[in-house]
Amino acid sequence: MTGTSAKNLLTNGSTTMVQHYKEALPPNDYPICVTCGTQYSEPRASCPVCLDERQYVPLSGQAWTTLSRLRSGARRASVHPQGPGVLGIGCEPKFAIGQRALLVKAADGNVLWDCVPYLDEELIDIVNAEGGLSAIAISHPHYYATMVDWAREFEVPVYLHTADRQWVGRSDPVLQFWDGDRMELASGLVLYRPGVHFPGGTVMHWDDDPDGLGALFSGDIIQVIPDFTHVAFMYSYPNLIPERPDVVEAAAELLAPLAYERLYGAWWDFILPRAADRIVQDSATRYLKFTRG
């Protein structure tokens, strides 16, 4: 999808679009990579996402599961508050990469930021009790997960940056592609493309969060690190490949005008609660100092 605003589609057009395809929903037997959680539309020998140098295939080899199997095992929904107007969503025990998604209670309707492979009736009931979803937006391919199942269940579009289109494992009309560096998702919510980690690496800015101080949702495009005083910028996190300095510099310039007190990372409770906008800029400066000398 090209253009600068998705508000009309989010509020008016998504239900009809998804309902048209819901009649053809297949059983929940599409293969899901056990290592990264990416779902594919047909059986395959390998997972392209894990073969890429930003991810990995474990020494034990490629393994597959399905959503039906995940639902029939020992896992169950995990839902906990993560901040004002923000609810974390995942499963216990964790699966694949282990990220949690975030339900953002925005003025124009709830938005699911990032996605997780696990989805069961308990999670569906919880999300519906919170008011359902108006849209899904995802930071990068490692978190595409079972995004089509989520979108069809809640009858909403999924917004992905077109630069990462090649990594989609299960095509579907619910997927809406946008390009450029900025897209208004809804009132108070804007997607930006810093391009760290993946060319389409996306963050979401919420300028009218409940505290009125702004929040940035970064997944691991901008990674919250354990000391919570800085953030990291990596091309590959598991393989410890640093991001190119020019990419980090451009990302910092893109985000510099934004005000946000909080930054929500990819993991449970990995959140910068104060001065996050300054921390991101200071971290970029530090990164460039070390990588450029």
pLDDT, tens digit, 9 for 90 and up, residues 257-292: 999 999 999 999 999 999 999 999 999 999 999 999
Residue 223 DSSP SS3: strand
pLDDT of 12 reads 37
Q: How much is the pLDDT for 96?
A: 98
Angstrom distances, CA of residue 66 to CA of 109, 119, 271? 30, 11, 31
Report d(CA 158, CA 144) in Å as an integer: 10
Give 183-202 pLDDT, tens digit per residue. 999 999 999 999 999 999 99
Mean pLDDT of 74-99: 96
Q: pLDDT tens-digit profile of 191-234?
A: 999 999 999 999 999 999 999 999 999 999 999 999 999 999 99
Mean pLDDT of 72-87: 95
Helix (H) / strand (E) element for 188: namely none
Q: How confident is the model over 107-136, as pLDDT tens digits? A: 999 999 999 999 999 999 999 999 999 999
Q: What is the pTM for the complete model shown? A: 0.91
The candidate with the shortest Cα–Cα distance to 272, out of 230, 214, 213, is: 230
For residue 15, the model assigns a pLDDT of 36
Alpha carbon distance, N-terminus to C-terminus of the chain: 40
pLDDT band at 74 (very low <50, low <70, confident <90, very high): confident
Residue 15 has, within 13 A of its CA and on its CB side, a CA count of 5
| Closest of 237, 241, 223, 239 to residue 284, by C-alpha | 223
User: pLDDT-based confidence at 21, cuts 50/70/90?
Assistant: very low
The pLDDT-based confidence of 6 (bands split at 50, 70, 90) is: low
Share of the chain above pLDDT 90, in %: 89
